[in-house]
Amino acid sequence: MKHKLYYGAAWYPELWGEAERQADLQLMKETGINLVRMGEFIWSELEPEEDVIDVRPFAGHIRQLHDHGIDTIMCTPTATPPIWLTHGHPERLFVRADGAVMNHGSRQHICTNNPYFRQRAAIIAGHLARELGRLPGLVAWQLDNEFKAHVAECVCDTCKVLWHKWLEQRYGSIARLNEAWGTAVWSHTYQAFDQVPQPVATPFLHNSSLVTMYRLFQMEKIAEFAAEQAGILRGYSDVPITHNSSVAFHLDNEQLYRELDFASYDTYASQANRHAYLLNCDLWRNFKPGRDFWLLETSPAYAGSLTSYGQPHPDGYLIAEAVSAYALGAGAFCYWLWRQQRSGSEQTHSSILSAWGEPALGFDNVRAASRARLAIEPHMLATRPVQAEVAVTYSDRTKAFLATEPHRKLNYRSLLSDFYKRIVDMGIHRDLVPEGGSLSGYKLLFTPFVHYLSPEFVGKALAFAEAGGIWIAGPLSGGRTAEHTLHTDAALGELERYAGVHTKYVYPMEGTGSIGKAFGLSAPLSLWSAVFEPLPGGASVIGEITEGRTPGLAFATEQQYGRGAIVMLGSLPAGGDGDQLLRALIGHYAGRAGVTLRSDVTAGTVVCPRRGSSGELWTVVNMDGLGGRVTLPRSGQDALAGRAVPAGPLTLGPYEYRLIALEE
């Protein structure tokens, strides 16, 4: 995976005739496509009748691609089981929490925990692995397609039995479950595991532990299915295995990628949402540290289905997307899709070629991005992304907790995106580090919105602080146990002792007129907030509440810890003033922590630092189409133009990108 940058597209040879396929191969080559992804929806093609299996046509496709200099990432086809697997077998279908049974006619309609499905999935994956697994040109496997994109938790009878087993394994005895979940509230107490319901319709809210545990159970099961399938592929094939996931899907990506070889994702963010585009790069780089991530799906111009569509990219934005992804660690940048589908329900999705075989909107941008890929390739291959000094914790488990407990429609993804955006706009290089990831090498760690802080995580973060790092925890972090209950020793449990604070109150600040003051700035406070007083000899107050229900108490504190510090952020400063206050806080602690991977780049432009044997390489990309500016800290060399660049201001035109090899 290190000898080239992949520039790819999703291809559906099974949907077209030989003439179109040959034309595709030729045009792909001309367009610079060097990777094709295929196969994720071909089950009925491979196995039109149960046990009548023929995967040879795809061996042929892989060979032909290879002959044209194009590598293949082959998918297992389990996202769309054929009709014979579910026709007449409603018990195999996915059942939504509202009781609706999903039917054949779209995708993901089967329960992936159904044993017969697992059996058939193993058989088809085995066939593919055995017959394609060692073909030249095959460079990777993708499992299934967008696990849990369209469905969340299944409540079918198979899942019910598995749920009861899972509970038994987790709790051992029903008494321990009752205690852990506090089921005495509302007389929920269970006498036996097989009485514990799935989170189906009730007149009012379910027990929060039950609902959250059901989500975690289901997340485990999909990771288990992935591991099972990966195991089968590995029996016949040595190429690495990935999956095209997303932060939007109903799974725990960290858990999933533990079973796989490298991390990949799909994204269809529009330009207006370009911070989400960057967030993906900064996150997926860190699921498998040290390995390239692959962007497996993005549109040439816009996403679309029969019932909705996204804004087309402005002319030029696509190039900025490709360059910034490569610079931030992508080993592959792939389009969905090569040739527009004539049927189905995504006929209106942007593609490289139209259904009638002509260049579609964005084709010119695809070619330009291809040229950009070629130009930057040697520089990318000679360097690796630089680890950031600033880390932000990412937690899909938190997504599950907040889905159970949204307060007022809180959504982890948007909370985190907003938080992240500010750091980008401040020109600070950053990593989104999954909960289980290493903190080694970081200077400043943000852990916002993580309801449940596990002992493992807290231990790691304390060690990080002990060693000199600054850990900024909150808002919303730490107030829940592993079981989604409250602590009964202190609002934030043990964390308070380490942070040198006592949480005096926890309450919703919205609309209470609360004002917080810190770093000389005042701003309204928002969200459910923890309000602190320092423990004797403990933390110092850095953010004081000056108005509202609890004036005089603190919303932000700092406690020296080892050679570092623990900063508690109990509330979220809001609005324009809140943004200023948060910037002051981030800037202050970035300074204190000695963060150097930072520039004065204008918002809308991004600096992607990499390093190789010959030193540091900045890739600077304008993303907003308005052009931008950054001060180069040292003189350097324009790696593409091959000419010297002085230290000082560097300006970029709309969507322009520059590769600057900085002098050491």
Residue 206 φ/ψ region, left for φ over 0, alpha for ψ in the -120 to 50 degree band, beta for the rest: beta
**Of 366, 244, 408, 338, whose CA–CA distance to 11 is shortest?**
338
Which of residues 83 and 644 has its CB atom nearest to a copy of itself in the complex? Answer: 83
The answer on whether 75 is annotated among ligand-binding residues is no
Query: Cα(first)–Cα(last) distance of the chain, in Å?
Result: 28
Considering the complex, what minimum distance in angstroms separates the CB of residue 32 from a copy of itself?
21
Q: Which two tokens mark 519?
A: 């770093």
Which of residues 6 and 655 has its CB atom nearest to a copy of itself in the complex? Answer: 655
Which of residues 44 and 438 has its CB atom nearest to a copy of itself in the complex? Answer: 44
Which of residues 88 and 576 has its CB atom nearest to a copy of itself in the complex? Answer: 88
Which of residues 302 and 419 has its CB atom nearest to a copy of itself in the complex? Answer: 302
Helix (H) or strand (E) holding 584: helix 575-593
Catalytic residue among 45, 47, 254, 297: 297
Q: Which two tokens mark 47?
A: 């196995």
Question: Is-cis flag, bond preceding 25, omega within 30?
Answer: no
Sorted by sequence, the CB contacts under 8 Å of residue 626 that are 6+ apart come out as: 604, 654
Residue with the two structure tokens 């059996």: 119
Q: Which two tokens mark 373?
A: 């890929």
**Beta strand segments in 482-520, E:** 501-508, 515-518
192 alpha-carbon distance from chain centroid:
37
Residue 388 CB burial class (10 angstroms; 0-12, 13-18, ≥19): buried
Q: Encode burial over 222-246: b for 16+ CB neighbours within 10 A, e otherwise.
A: bbbbbeebbebbbebbebbbbbbbb
Which of residues 185 and 641 has its CB atom nearest to a copy of itself in the complex? Answer: 185
Considering the complex, what minimum distance in angstroms separates the CB of residue 657 from a copy of itself?
21
Residue 472 CB burial class (10 angstroms; 0-12, 13-18, ≥19): buried
Catalytic residue among 40, 45, 47, 146: 146
The answer on whether 154 is annotated among ligand-binding residues is yes
Considering the complex, what minimum distance in angstroms separates the CB of residue 645 from a copy of itself?
33
231 alpha-carbon distance from chain centroid:
24
* d(C-alpha 36, C-alpha 71), whole Å: 6
The answer on whether 334 is annotated among ligand-binding residues is no
The answer on whether 111 is annotated among ligand-binding residues is yes
Which of residues 119 and 308 has its CB atom nearest to a copy of itself in the complex? Answer: 308
**Of 422, 443, 372, whose CA–CA distance to 590 is shortest?**
443
Residue with the two structure tokens 């917080």: 516
83-88 CB contacts, 8 Å cutoff, 24+ apart: 83/44, 84/49, 84/50, 85/50, 85/110, 85/116, 85/117, 85/120, 86/110
* d(C-alpha 313, C-alpha 317), whole Å: 6
**Beta strand segments in 184-279, E:** 241-242, 244-245, 264-266
Q: Which two tokens mark 273?
A: 């949402």
Considering the complex, what minimum distance in angstroms separates the CB of residue 520 from a copy of itself?
27
Considering the complex, what minimum distance in angstroms separates the CB of residue 78 from a copy of itself?
10
Which of residues 434 and 534 has its CB atom nearest to a copy of itself in the complex? Answer: 534
* d(C-alpha 144, C-alpha 259), whole Å: 14
Task: Tell me the C-alpha to C-alpha distance, in Å, between residue 547 and each of 136, 243, 539, 544, 553.
Answer: 69, 50, 21, 9, 10
Residue 593 CB burial class (10 angstroms; 0-12, 13-18, ≥19): buried
Residue 299 CB burial class (10 angstroms; 0-12, 13-18, ≥19): buried
* d(C-alpha 495, C-alpha 462), whole Å: 10
Q: Which two tokens mark 30?
A: 């001309």
Q: Helix (H, G, I), strand (E, B), or coil: what is residue 26? A: helix
Q: What is the DSSP string of 309-344?
A: EPPPPPTTHHHHHHHHHHHTTEEEEEES-SB--SST
Which of residues 574 and 582 has its CB atom nearest to a copy of itself in the complex? Answer: 574
Which of residues 514 and 622 has its CB atom nearest to a copy of itself in the complex? Answer: 514
Examine the residue annotation and report whether 297 is marked as an active-site residue of this protein.
yes
Task: Tell me the C-alpha to C-alpha distance, in Å, between residue 396 and each of 83, 197, 287.
Answer: 33, 24, 12
Considering the complex, what minimum distance in angstroms separates the CB of residue 451 from a copy of itself?
11
Residues that are catalytic: 146, 297
Annotated binding site for substrate: 107, 145
- Could you list the residues known to form a binding site for Zn(2+), using ranges: 111, 154, 156, 159
| Residues in binding site | 107, 111, 145, 154, 156, 159
